Amino acid sequence: MEWWRGAVIYQIYPRSYADSDGDGIGDLRGVAGRLEHVADLGADAIWLSPFFKSPMKDFGYDVEDYCAVDPLFGTMRDFDRLVAKAHKLGLKVMIDQVLSHTADTHPWFVESRKDRTNPKANWYVWADPKPDGSPPNNWMSIFGGVGWQWDTRRRQYYMHNFLVEQPDLNFHEPQVREALLGTVKFWLERGVDGFRLDTVNYYVHDAKLRDNPPNSTPGMSDVPADNPYGWQLHVYDKSRPENLSFLESFRALLDRHGATASVGEVGAGPDTNRIVAEYTGGSKRLHMCYGFDLLSSKGEAAPIRAAVEDFERASPDGWMAWALSNHDVVRAITRWRAEARSAEVAPLSIALMTSLRGSSCLYQGEELGLPEADVPYDLLQDPYGKAFWPAFKGRDGCRTPMPWTSSAKAGFTTAKKPWLPIPPEHRALSVAAQAKDDASALSRVKRFLHWRRTRPELVRGSIKFHDAPEGALVFERSLGGSRTLCAFNLSGKRLAFAAPRGARTLDGHGFAGAVAGGEARLPPRQALFADLGEG
């Protein structure tokens, strides 16, 4: 059963979802206690960001033990209960797997750095310095500076794509691949239904350690313009063809465990669609990937259409997991400059995303229309933001706690102080406040997602775009002879265009667009869905 195809996957950032023990940080019991919200919303699965044992230098994306729950989030028993409850509610459970690197406190790295002859000496990317003592090549770290750190024990450099405390694993070493697959098997046997693979195209590096060439279009990157990482074409430190064999081994393991799924994160770049096509085409690698095209969208129709059509051309048999927001980017409501119109724009943007051919990753709070929070420097937690402040304020603005109520602590915690501040504008958009209002973003998103399930072509069908007025996206989804016209007005103007012959307005989804007199009529920031009959 391909449950993942067309699924709505609700991303939960555990630190910020719900705090059950009053320490100001969310945990697994808190997540379990709020799963009804996800099921009622109409999602099909949850994706849990890392909860593994970690020194938390990068908030769990620096793993110290792949097979243990960090005490900050609870116990393995808490995790098992969460999975059981999710399954009882009809939700699949996907977890984040951070396979490209570990924490520098991981026992593998502690042993690897002892000397050059220990059993794990080759488990990480080590290299000798150049004759002048400088790093072995020009590779950079996303989090600032060079991508190499000198280690006095081995008198060598080790590679780190991210923080210095996140050394990169050596995927050219068969024992490393075998050990990582063993950790995946551990969680499969605990009942998880799939994995989100962090930085999936970073796994393998060029064994010859060749220099990256300069990037003539540095804007084509998922890093801020002020970050010199974007000034290179990363042809040797990531996206290597050797990665494909590992992905095939990974998929084979999942296939042996039944109806599981995988979604890989591929960063923005000039060849993103080619990579996604390679990673998801056929049935031997990943089930789906997501890129950064919609994650960087500013709500303009033409670039969204271009991104979708580019992917369709590059990978007609591949499958994308579209996302508008997540824990790494500025929230979509702010990028779309829609803070004052979130009750309109949040349902519209989510309906658009979940109507595209593919699956969807819906980030916690997106259904509430939350804007990006403004976290002052003295309260900043993100090391990425601290390194590039003030040009880039980091990722804390999209990671602030989920507002369940409008109270001072938003129903998130009983602690005196949550780990990140909760802005007043978020409390005003709380789940409790919106649940009482049929016109709220939350109520409208819920109405649409449940209606979407009644149209199988919106879940699994093909897609074909139609010409449309400026500011609008118009396409049809088709499956087994059933066809639905989907039209979205992303502008502040009333739009109209000639409707396809036989188009009949569908209702029940909560949007005001309609077909009348052979014309499709779209009020500002509204959508239209029409039955086109059998094709």
- Residues involved in catalysis: 198, 278
Q: Tell me the H-state helices in 195-330.
A: 243-255, 272-280, 301-314
- Per-position DSSP letters for 144-204, written without gaps between them: SSBSEEEETTTTEEEE-SS-TTSPBB-TTSHHHHHHHHHHHHHHHTTT--EEEETTGGGS-
**Strand, helix or coil at 280?**
helix
Residues 362/9, Cβ–Cβ less than 8 Å: yes
The Cα–Cα gap between 12 and 33 comes to 13
Only one residue has tokens 């039209």, namely 487
Per-residue tokens: 355:
């109507």
Question: Across the beta sheet with 288-290, what order do the strands follow?
Answer: 288-290, 261-265, 194-197, 92-97, 45-48, 8-12, 359-363, 321-323
| Residue-level length of the chain | 535
Residues 263/359, Cβ–Cβ less than 8 Å: yes
- The set of residues, in sequence order, having a beta carbon less than 8 Å from that of 258 and lying 6+ positions away, is none
- Per-position DSSP letters for 302-316, written without gaps between them: HHHHHHHHHHHHH-T
Residues 380/389, Cβ–Cβ less than 8 Å: yes
Q: How many CB atoms lie within 10 A of CB 402?
A: 25
The Cα–Cα gap between 93 and 51 comes to 13
Q: How many CB atoms lie within 10 A of CB 2?
A: 11
Per-residue tokens: 288:
């789906």
Which residue from 74, 135, 125, 132 is spatially nearest to 100, judged by alpha carbons?
125
Q: No. of H helices and E strands in the chain?
A: 15, 21
Residues 52/187, Cβ–Cβ less than 8 Å: no
Residues 198/94, Cβ–Cβ less than 8 Å: no
Specify the DSSP element, H or E, that contains 405.
none
- The set of residues, in sequence order, having a beta carbon less than 8 Å from that of 132 and lying 6+ positions away, is none
Label residue 298 left, alpha or beta by phi (over 0 means left) and psi (-120 to 50 means alpha). Answer: alpha
Per-residue tokens: 464:
């074909």
- The set of residues, in sequence order, having a beta carbon less than 8 Å from that of 352 and lying 6+ positions away, is 304, 473, 488, 490, 527
